[in-house]
């Protein structure tokens, strides 16, 4: 009994993925790296889809392959994914509203599938005009939030991410880094904010699930000890 009483209690904040790692900073790094590579993978897949349908156009000297064309896109998307995925659970803790709606990996995977489907629709489905496409994708994006998130913080962050990402895209196109075919919202497509909104919700759900998985691992470890 004396030995059990002398054992240190488990901290309230979630611990690491690996039992030998106890630093919260290292834990954040691990989660960030995982989110980064998820973002890179999704960027490669979705970028290839957009290029094949001539939705986005890059300079001809760099379009020989998916890896050489727009080499900066995957790292930028990976970095943004890491920031978003870490920001969502941090905001939940800050607001004191832990997100518990559909917290399982199967739900997260379905969210990713719906996000990829929304991107697929933006590139493959032919609508009468861009406004009709934009309204359809906006409804699908809000439906994604309602189905897999339903939190006020998630919606607010999604809107903020969509605004900032669209602004950055406008600046990049304005400076000739790349371009969109048939732009109807200044220099880009009007449905682009919907894609960014859905992407923010998706990466936020992945980040929340990683944080929750981390809590589960440390709880099971403490129970075994």
In this prediction, what percent of the chain has a pLDDT beyond 90? Answer: 32
**pLDDT confidence of residue 46:** 82
**pLDDT confidence of residue 224:** 58
Structural domain including 149 reads: 27-51+72-224
Asked if residue 19 belongs to a domain, the reply is: no
Asked if residue 61 belongs to a domain, the reply is: no
- The structure's pTM equals 0.77
Q: Out of 26-30, 51-55, 199-203, pick the least confident.
A: 51-55
**pLDDT confidence of residue 26:** 79
Query: How far, in Å, CA of 138 to CA of 223, rounded?
Result: 45
CB neighbour class for 88 (10 Å; exposed up to 12, middle 13-18, buried from 19): buried
The per-residue pLDDT of the chain, averaged, comes to 78
Give the chain's domain count: 1
Asked if residue 142 belongs to a domain, the reply is: yes
Asked if residue 31 belongs to a domain, the reply is: yes
Contact 187, 128 (CB under 8 A): no
145 or 125, which is more confident? 145
Asked if residue 4 belongs to a domain, the reply is: no
DSSP E strand stretches across the chain: 56-57, 179-180
Asked if residue 13 belongs to a domain, the reply is: no
Contacts 24+ apart (CB under 8 A), 92-98: 92/151, 92/153, 92/208, 95/153, 97/151, 97/152, 97/153
């Amino acid at each position: 009994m004396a030995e059990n009483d002398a054992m240190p209690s488990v901290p309230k904040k979630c611990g690491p993925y690996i039992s030998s790692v106890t630093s919260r900073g290292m834990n954040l790094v691990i989660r960030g790296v995982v989110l980064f590579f998820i973002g890179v993978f999704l960027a490669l897949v979705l970028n290839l889809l957009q290029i094949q349908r001539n939705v986005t156009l890059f300079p001809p000297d760099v379009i020989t392959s998916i890896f050489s064309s727009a080499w900066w896109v995957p790292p930028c998307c990976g970095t943004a994914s890491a920031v978003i995925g870490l920001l969502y659970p941090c905001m939940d803790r800050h607001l004191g509203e832990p997100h518990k709606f559909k917290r399982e990996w199967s739900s997260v995977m379905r969210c990713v599938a719906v996000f990829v489907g929304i991107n697929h629709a933006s590139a493959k489905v032919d609508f009468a005009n861009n406004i009709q496409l934009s309204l359809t994708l906006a409804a699908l994006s809000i439906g994604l939030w309602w189905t897999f998130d339903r939190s006020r913080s998630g919606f607010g962050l999604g809107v903020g991410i969509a605004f900032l990402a669209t602004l950055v895209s406008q600046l990049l196109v304005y400076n000739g880094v790349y371009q969109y075919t048939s732009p109807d919202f200044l220099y880009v497509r009007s449905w682009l904010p919907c894609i960014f909104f859905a992407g923010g919700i998706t990466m936020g759900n992945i980040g929340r699930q990683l944080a929750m998985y981390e809590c589960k691992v440390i709880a099971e470890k403490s129970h075994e000890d």
